[in-house]
Amino acid sequence: MYDKEKLKDLPQNPGVYIMRNNNGEIIYVGKAINLRNRVRQYFHSASQLTSKTVVLVSHIETIETIVTDSEMEALILECNLIKTHHPRYNILLKDDKSYPWIRLTVNEEYPRIMMTREYKKDGAKYFGPFTSSYAVKNTIEAILKIYPLKTCNRQVVYGKKTGRPCLNYHIGQCQAPCQGNVSKEKYARDIQSILDILNGRHPDLIKNLNKKMTEAALNQNYEEAAKYRDQISGIQHIIEKQKISSSTKQDQDFIGLAQSDELGCVQVFHVREGKLMGRDHFFLEDLGDVSPREVLESFVKQYYASCGFIPREIILKEALEDKQVIEEWLGELAGKRIDVHSPQRGQKIKMLEMVADNADLALKQQLLEKREKEIRSKSRLDGLQELLGMAQRPSRIEAYDISNISGTNNVGGMVVFDDGKLNRKACRRFKIKSVEGQNDYASMQEMIFRRMERAMKTQEANNFLPLPEIMMIDGGVGHVNAAESIVSLYPVDIEVCGLVKDDRHRLRGIFHKGTEYPIKKATPLGVFLFEISEEVHRYTLGYHQILRKKEMLASQLEEIPGVGKKRREALMAHFGQVDKIKKATLAELMSVPGMQVKTAQAVLDFFCQKT
């Protein structure tokens, strides 16, 4: 759940906010003129929110922001991010609608101009995306009045008549190339004029429309004049210059840096075909007194060595010392010319300033979150230390659980928390070997014994996990006693306690030294213990499900005539998994020790029937 205290730290600039759940998935993207004021609205009382918003808010874990210079930029960026990430709660866009483009089919002999909501690499020229379909339609209509292109998909050839001309020809909206009377050269000149207009060389078109509007007004044809006025307005809207949607149509990366005494943040804005498609940010530690130029140069080398795609332009505020060498190296990696440069003025420097602002904002948020996590972790561990009566705050905690179904596929799981945070690399799974049937106590003892023995044997070599200060056992008195009986055999000082569940398998309390302590869920300690309990249960159950699935697949083999338990084990030992057995040839099956031709053919026939 998102901490409302963080709302005061959000910027008051226009921009985009990105909401993520506890798995780090983007669940909502929105835009705002004032980011702080807009995001605060989500955290009003539930009675003031829609049911959809209430559900959305309950899943918010973190909120990121990207500041822009205008609402227009935020709007286009919002669309780009939504189309890229498909957030779950942006339901209004689930009909797959996007902002409109102008498409000019220059790949055809007699090109057409049209509006589309889907960008394809089909040889046509695309202009956009734009924020108003009304403006796009008006612009296309204005262009067609001056350059009456064909709008149908009829195949036409110069000098050859194809059917009768449509109504557009009779009302002056088409040159009717279907009649074979329009040369490709003349048509191409019109197309070039349209390309000039859409690329920003538009004064002649607006001048022509203004003249027609004036004439219509003088003739008191006000409806016609209003029509021309709307067309001029639409063109002006389309050609409005924006940093977020560049007219250059280039692939570019803008890189900005923010530094503090303890941390640095590099922000990369990815512009693809003129659109800002997203961003990455990277936090750098222990920079010391390294200069911004050195940091950026090191980043560029490491980042583009493995990023997979290198844009044609890489734009930074600091000029790199080895610029020429780096450009040549990147050019070899990308197979094209790469420019790395540092602009001093113009639109690119404004974009760099925006990137730097976002880097600074991300850095401040990271520092704030880092301090909050440290305080929260300290509070959790202090609470646990006090509850268990320990002399020092614990730094390492291990939790254990057992999973089986009616004593089959008996497994155990161990999850590790270091300084209050889950250490996934240290987690371990155990396949219980010595216990037949359902005996959770004995299974727990085997798992703890194996963990302790491995630690003792490799302690001198220091190549196994260090022992914890606390072992948490998923269960009550019996489970704790079983674990303690093993731990007591070793010269260690480890507190053993139990995570006690209620009838609905929800955490109820913690059992320690003969006493059960109830847990208050809303406290930092209560939340921490709940996380430990859920994680160890999830981790252990996941391993059990994997083994059970493998066994179910392997048991299919015993349905085959002539294949019993021993032959099934031989097949699995040889191939490793059922999928490989399914694909095996007769000769490969015969290579299994003890396999006879008749049985091998039966295996082959069995899986052929299944497919």
- Give the model confidence (pLDDT) of 413-436 as tens digits: 999 999 888 998 889 999 888 888
Confidence category of residue 95, pLDDT binned at 50, 70, 90: very low
Pairing of strands 408-418, 428-431: antiparallel
pLDDT tens digits for range 357-406: 999 988 888 888 888 878 888 888 988 999 999 999 999 999 999 888 76
Decide if 162 contacts 177 (C-beta within 8 A). Answer: no
455 phi and psi angles, rounded to 5 deg: -65, -45
Which pLDDT value is given to residue 243? 45
| Cα–Cα distance for residue pair 483/445, rounded to 1 Å | 6
Range of weakest confidence among 101-110, 522-531, 579-588:
579-588
And the tokens for 160? 């050859």
Which pLDDT value is given to residue 554? 57
| Cα–Cα distance for residue pair 149/156, rounded to 1 Å | 13
Confidence category of residue 487, pLDDT binned at 50, 70, 90: very high
pLDDT tens digits for range 188-206: 888 887 887 776 556 777 8
Average pLDDT, the chain: 82
Decide if 359 contacts 282 (C-beta within 8 A). Answer: no
Q: For residue 422, what are the contacts with CB-CB under 8 A and spacing of at least 6?
A: 415, 416, 531, 535
507 phi and psi angles, rounded to 5 deg: -60, 125
Which pLDDT value is given to residue 569? 77
Decide if 258 contacts 356 (C-beta within 8 A). Answer: yes
And the tokens for 555? 């048991």
And the tokens for 78? 């919002």
SS3 4: helix
Q: For residue 611, what are the contacts with CB-CB under 8 A and spacing of at least 6?
A: 582
Decide if 85 contacts 29 (C-beta within 8 A). Answer: yes
Q: For residue 397, what are the contacts with CB-CB under 8 A and spacing of at least 6?
A: 384, 416, 417, 468, 469, 470, 471, 472, 532
Confidence category of residue 91, pLDDT binned at 50, 70, 90: very low
pLDDT tens digits for range 576-601: 777 788 888 888 888 888 888 888 88
Q: Give the CA count within 13 Å in the CB-facing half-sphere of 395.
A: 3
Q: For residue 594, what are the contacts with CB-CB under 8 A and spacing of at least 6?
A: 566, 567, 570
Question: What length does the chain have?
Answer: 611
Pick from 156, 149, 178, 155: which is nearest to 165 by CA? 178
Beta bridge partners of 500: 509
Which pLDDT value is given to residue 469? 94
Which pLDDT value is given to residue 495? 93
Residue with tokens 């004036």: 214
608, with CB counted inside 10 A (0-12, 13-18, 19+), is exposed
Instruction: Indicate whether 485 pLDDT > 90.
Output: yes
Instruction: Give me the helix-helix angle, 292-306 and 323-334, nearest 10°.
Output: 10
Instruction: Indicate whether 93 pLDDT > 60.
Output: no
462: left (phi over 0), alpha (psi -120 to 50) or beta: left
Write out the DSSP string of 327-349: HHHHHHHHTS--EEE---SSHHH
Range of weakest confidence among 230-234, 290-294, 517-521:
230-234
Q: For residue 529, what are the contacts with CB-CB under 8 A and spacing of at least 6?
A: 384, 499, 507, 510, 519
- Domains of the chain (ranges, CATH numbers): 4-93 (3.40.1440.10), 101-238 (no CATH), 252-364 (3.30.420), 396-551 (3.30.420.340), 560-610 (1.10.150.20)
pLDDT tens digits for range 106-162: 888 899 999 987 767 678 887 755 656 777 788 788 788 778 888 888 888 888 887
Give the end-to-end CA distance of the chain in Å, rounded to a whole number. Answer: 47
Confidence category of residue 470, pLDDT binned at 50, 70, 90: very high
pTM: 0.46
Which pLDDT value is given to residue 97? 41
| Cα–Cα distance for residue pair 330/491, rounded to 1 Å | 58
Which pLDDT value is given to residue 241? 41
Which pLDDT value is given to residue 242? 42
CA distances from 253 to 126, 168, 292, 313, 347 (A): 21, 45, 17, 6, 14
Write out the DSSP string of 247-303: TT---EEEEEEEE-SSEEEEEEEEEETTEEEEEEEEEEE--TT--HHHHHHHHHHHH
pLDDT tens digits for range 291-349: 788 888 878 887 887 665 788 999 998 888 778 888 888 888 788 899 998 998 888 88
| Residues 415, 419, 424, 425, CA torsion sign | negative
Residue of 164 and 274 predicted with greater confidence: 164
| Cα–Cα distance for residue pair 234/130, rounded to 1 Å | 11
Which pLDDT value is given to residue 175? 86
Pick from 311, 279, 314, 312: which is nearest to 299 by CA? 314
| Cα–Cα distance for residue pair 65/90, rounded to 1 Å | 17
